Amino acid sequence: MLLQDEDNWHYTYIKGFHRLLRHVTGYHKRQFWCDKCLYVTTYEHVMKTHTEDCLGIDKSPCRIDMPQKGDLIQFQNIRKQLKAPFIIYCDFECLNVKSSDMGNQSPTKKLTDHVPCSFSYVVVKFDGSAKEPVLYRACDSSENVSETFLNE
Ligand SMILES: [Zn+2]
């Protein structure tokens, strides 16, 4: 341990590390300290579990249990899954229109703009049933297809 008093520095040997920590915390009942990360508990079985998984200071205890070769692994907590009431599959088609923004200073030159011209989507419910797919095509290039999609 390094002790400092203004300009004086002194290393000192710690004979009873756990007694020192007990003095610091002021808790005088039996405690179990982890030497690697200074985790403390009053339960011996908790410390035993912690010691097996401790990786040291600044690292959370981590237990890695790899399956044996040939073991079957499958998700078991199906009841904990969230059910999505519906899923929307959507696709846009765009036209590559020559960009008018050619004068910027960036080394990357923007040659074209992607202008949406149509979209299609289908809504599938949680039971697998689906509504009729919706297809929308713009009548001319001035139409704002993105805004039409958001209004659907
Ligand atoms: Zn630890």
Q: Is residue 78 included in any domain, yes or no?
A: no
Dist CA 113 CA 97 (whole Å): 5
Total structural domains within the chain: 2
Tell how far the Cα of 25 is from the centroid of ligand 1, in angstroms.
Answer: 17
Whether residues 37 and 91 fall in one domain: no
Query: Where does the pLDDT of residue 31 fall: very low under 50, low under 70, confident under 90, or very high at 90 and above?
Result: confident
Yes or no: say if 54 and 36 are a contact pair by the CB < 8 Å rule.
yes
Dist CA 135 CA 69 (whole Å): 49
Q: Is residue 62 included in any domain, yes or no?
A: no
Tell how far the Cα of 5 is from the centroid of ligand 1, in angstroms.
Answer: 30
Tell how far the Cα of 34 is from the centroid of ligand 1, in angstroms.
Answer: 5
Give pTM, 2 decimals.
0.41
Whether residues 43 and 94 fall in one domain: no
The predicted-structure confidence for 62-92, as pLDDT tens digits, reads as follows: 777 788 899 988 888 888 887 788 999 999 9
Whether residues 99 and 147 fall in one domain: yes
The domain of 16 spans: 2-53
Whether residues 49 and 90 fall in one domain: no
Tell how far the Cα of 61 is from the centroid of ligand 1, in angstroms.
Answer: 7
Q: Is residue 64 included in any domain, yes or no?
A: no
